[in-house]
Structure 1
Amino acid sequence: MVGAGVFAVWAPAARAAGGWLLVALVIAAIVAYCNAASSAQLAAVYPVSGGTYAYGRERLGPWWGYTAGCAFVLGKTASCAAMALTFATYAVPGPAWIRRVVALIAVLALAGVNSRGVTKTARLTRVLVACTLVILVGVVVVLAVSPSAHHTTSWPTSAGPYGVLQAAGLLFFAFAGYARIATMGEEVRDPARTIPRAISLALFLAVGLYLVVGLSLLLVLGPDGIAGSGAPVAAAVDAVGAAWAEPVVRAGAAVASLGALLGLIAGIGRTSLAMARNGDLPRWLAAVHPRFQVPHHAGLALAVVVGVLVLSTDLRGVIGFSSFGVLLYYAIANAAAFTQPRDQRRWPRAVNVLGLLGCLVLAFTLPPAAVVTAAVLLAIALLLRLLVRSGRDGSARR
């Protein structure tokens, strides 16, 4: 969660919400909390790889699980490419082709780290997140104490409810990382205790950090200044006369992007593993490395697909697409958690209902182009499964 989103998501959200940016952030956080509660409740009972793909199959049926898995894999594969390109943009100013090559190298390197096991993945993630937190705290302090800062609170508030909800859907992109905790249930000690605690703690820490950063940006730049900048955190540092810190901010954005990319690679590989085990993806992807106990075939396939994307596609506008897929994924998680019996429940069903409705509302208030593109791809995936299943049934009857 503490990844590239904290550096990149503010501008499109501010364009939609205006002075109501923090209200949109709170709405996104409430929906994220409901989703986290549902995911934690399910993960405690079903500590297996796959996250909502597995929970949907168990509680709602194979088609719902497949839909959740496709939504996750499609949205997060695109996000992998976006994170890699974001890293290269901040780390290597220069021609576009150089940035693409650097992005490809980052994808291959982190896929290699992930292939050595979840322990090494977690260790590197700790280092990357620690660096990002230090830089963000430093930025907030600089913005707060700089004598050159011209703080403003005369924020325009012309955005209507639709704009605020759209901004909340875009900001949700930054909170979506906690899904990857639940997707790795088979690799965690005492998952019934560890996963719910990890999800809740990670989400609360991220929400607090985002509120502080968002408020700091609003005080320095205002919503118009945020909306007009491609790199609002760097712009805020420059606006208070601390241009010396801009290289540090760039380094922080690059490190954060790497951390987000590493988490994405780990989570997608585990969901692909679960889908392949059930025949919803090619069985070859279900292979687990005998020594490192990771889905190495799924990781290799993901690295190839993302590599092709970073070399051929500009994915800077992919936040809406990714948010739609993840919101649909969590809508199914909330529906699955709603069906759990009393002895499996940790939160009341009202939390699941609020999460389900929140996900659907935010998903369908996202930019229309992102909604249509994601819906078409998911429809194609569902049609392919229908055709494959029909073919198998026909062969069995013969």
Structure 2
Amino acid sequence: MGKPPTAAGMPDELSRRLGVLDAVVIGLGSMIGAGIFAALAPAARSAGSGLLIGLALAGVVAYCNATSSARLAARYPASGGTYVYGRMRLGDFWGYLAGWGFVVGKTASCAAMALTAGSYLWPGQAHAVAVAAVVALTAVNYTGVQKSALLTRVAVAVVLAVLAAVVVAALTSSASDAARLDVGDDATFGGVLQAAGLLFFAFAGYARIATLGEEVRDPARTIPRAIPIALGIALVVYALVAVCVLTVLGPEGLAEAAAPLSDAAGAAGDDWLVPVVRVGAAVAALGSLLALILGVSRTTLAMARDRHLPHPLAVIHSKFKVPHRAELVVGAVVAVAAATADVRGAIGFSSFGVLVYYAVANASAWALTPAGGCQARVVPVVGLAGCLVLAFALPLSSVVSGATVIALGAAVYAVRRALTARG
């Protein structure tokens, strides 16, 4: 694969500055974010005592997606992630559709993360805080990816410390009751699938590693190592937290909790931990937002290079070596969405778009020469099927809105192709 086209007279490559640890931290910053603070309660409402089964299903699909993404990223170490993989393995349309789903879905996710931070920091002014957070983190990303990686590393450390405190409080609490982990009659197959789809939202961050393909050192080695490490750490953390929260609150209490981890800390008798958890949730949301803006801007860069988005967005800053125009546009769109959007609607919409994105990733991985043996074919098939099942198991409103926007993207592509052919 040759060098991607860029605007005339500008550098055609991003600077490779990130190592394995940086890539793992960026992936963790995207996964171990507001999802674990927000997704447990709606998932419990869907699955009841089958929550842990839903978490396991989400983890299996995430593993397949991570494996497929790692193989593809090693073959195509360029910014854009599945947008690039789809184009190379399946054709221009499928790459475009993946890029469209990612940019639109993750833009909604950015707004959701910003609003989550706002609701924890200043509930009465959540939208204003959200917009301010978007502006500040866009400025951080503008000045270079290394600063973003450093800030993400701090955020991950804070969040892991808060989650560890919640786990310890739950395990040492007299309110803990292991019997609450039993799967009861309230768990249905459809509910478990819906919970898995909702929980998948919290796993999707490892794509951020792949979208930074032009900014990691030795990408053929770094990316395949960083993705499974980040996913494995996130899965272990999520499982521990889910088990501990369930043992303290039980399925019904968790389903009714507005702030599950804060409620679990309070139920465990550690009132001092409640405000700490609130701060940790805000830091988690900001860490996710930082990494999300980073990933969306890189996919925007890749699509702009191929003129699926306005070509001036492909320009790379001569000093900071970042796609600064793409970052500014993404930041502006996210700020508008954060000022007007609803958190629940944004999360559901984002989940559908992300699952479509990974469906294309798995199909692309299946199309690779099966040099890895049987697993190289089985894993993407399981991942593709899992993505489609979870996408259509989401709440109906999320399915309808997500499918409508994906169809709109396909229509835009068709019109553009027709106009190009006439020209």
2:188 is equivalent to residue 188 of structure 1: no
Corresponding letter in the other structure for 2:233 = L
Aligned with residue 232 of structure 1, among 260, 265, 270: 260
Q: Deviations over 1:191-238 (max 9, x none)?
A: 000001100000000000000000001111111111101111111111
Aligned letter for 1:72? F
1:26 corresponding residue in structure 2? 56
SS at match of 2:79: coil
Q: Is the 8 A contact 1:68 1:332 kept in 2?
A: yes
2:162 aligned residue: 135
Secondary structure of 1:104's aligned partner: helix
SS in 2 for 1:293: coil
Q: Per-residue deviation at 1:39?
A: 0.2
In structure 1, what is the equivalent of residue 192 of structure 2?
164
**5 Å matches for 1:94-109?**
95=124, 98-109=125-136
Aligned counterpart, 2:45: 15
1:65 is matched with 95
Specify the SS of the correspondent of 1:227.
helix
| Secondary structure in structure 2 of the residue aligned to 1:34 | helix
Q: Which amino acid aligns with 1:50?
A: G
Secondary structure at 1:306's aligned position in 2?
helix
CA distance in 2, matches of 1:136, 1:340: 39
Residue 381 of structure 1: CA displacement?
A: 1.4
Q: Is the 8 A contact 1:156 1:223 kept in 2?
A: no
Residue 344 of structure 1: CA displacement? Answer: 7.0
Q: Is 1:389–2:389 an aligned residue pair?
A: no
CA contact (8 A) 2:370 2:376 kept: no
What secondary structure does 2:345 align onto? coil
Q: Is the 8 A contact 1:152 1:220 kept in 2?
A: no
**Following TM superposition, by how much is the alpha carbon of 1:292 offset from its aligned partner in structure 2, in angstroms?**
1.2
Worse-matched range after superposition: 137-146 or 345-354? 345-354
Indicate conservation of the 8 Å contact 2:297/2:326, yes or no. Answer: yes
Match of 2:369 in 1: 341
> For the residues of structure 1 that align with 2:117 and 2:106, how far apart are their CA atoms?
16
1:124 aligns with 2:154: no
- The list of structure 1 runs, each at least 4 consecutive aligned residues, that deviate by more than 3 angstroms after superposition, is 147-152, 154-157, 342-347
Structure 1: gaps (5+ residues): none
* 2-structure distance, mates of 1:264, 1:4: 12
Say whether 1:36 aligns with 2:63.
no
Counterpart code for 1:36: A
Distance in 2 (CA, whole Å) between partners of 1:343 and 1:292 is 38
CA deviation profile, 1:163-187 (whole Å, cap 9, x unmatched): 1111001100000000000001000
1:213 is aligned to: 241
Where does structure 2 lack aligned partners over 5 or more consecutive residues?
1-30
Q: In 2, are the aligned partners of 1:20 and 1:157 still within 8 Å (CA)?
A: no
- Tell me the distance in 2 between the aligned counterparts of 1:142 and 1:172: 26
Aligned to 2:301: 273
Higher mean alpha-carbon deviation, 384-393 vs 118-127, is at 384-393
- Contact between 2:176 and 2:247, CA under 8 Å: does it hold in 1? no
Q: 2:349 aligns with which of 312, 316, 321?
A: 321
TM-score (norm 2): 0.90
Q: Secondary structure at the match of 1:186?
A: coil
Equivalent AA in structure 1 for residue 405 of structure 2: L
Q: Describe the shift of the 1:20–1:150 C-alpha distance in structure 2 as closer, same or farther (beyond 3 A).
A: closer
Q: 3-state DSSP class of the match of 1:392?
A: helix
CA distance in 1, matches of 2:261, 2:183: 18
Range with greater deviation from structure 2 (342-351 or 56-65): 342-351
* d(CA) in 2 for partners of 1:295, 1:190: 21
Measured against aligned partners, the alpha-carbon deviations of 1:21-51 in whole angstroms (never above 9, x if no partner) come to 0000000000000000000000001000000
Q: CA deviation at 1:318?
A: 2.4
TM-score (norm 1): 0.96
Contact 1:37-1:347 within 8 A present in 2 as well: no
Identity of aligned residues (%): 55
1:345 deviates by 7.1
Give 1:147 deviation, angstroms.
Answer: 3.9
Deviates further, 166-175 or 289-298: 289-298
RMSD (CA atoms): 1.4
Comparing 284-293 with 63-72, greater Cα deviation is found at: 284-293
Once the two structures are TM-superposed, the CA of residue 149 in structure 1 deviates from its matched residue by 4.6
- The CA deviation string for residues 130-165 of structure 1, in whole angstroms up to 9 with x for no partner, is 000001001110111134556652664322111111
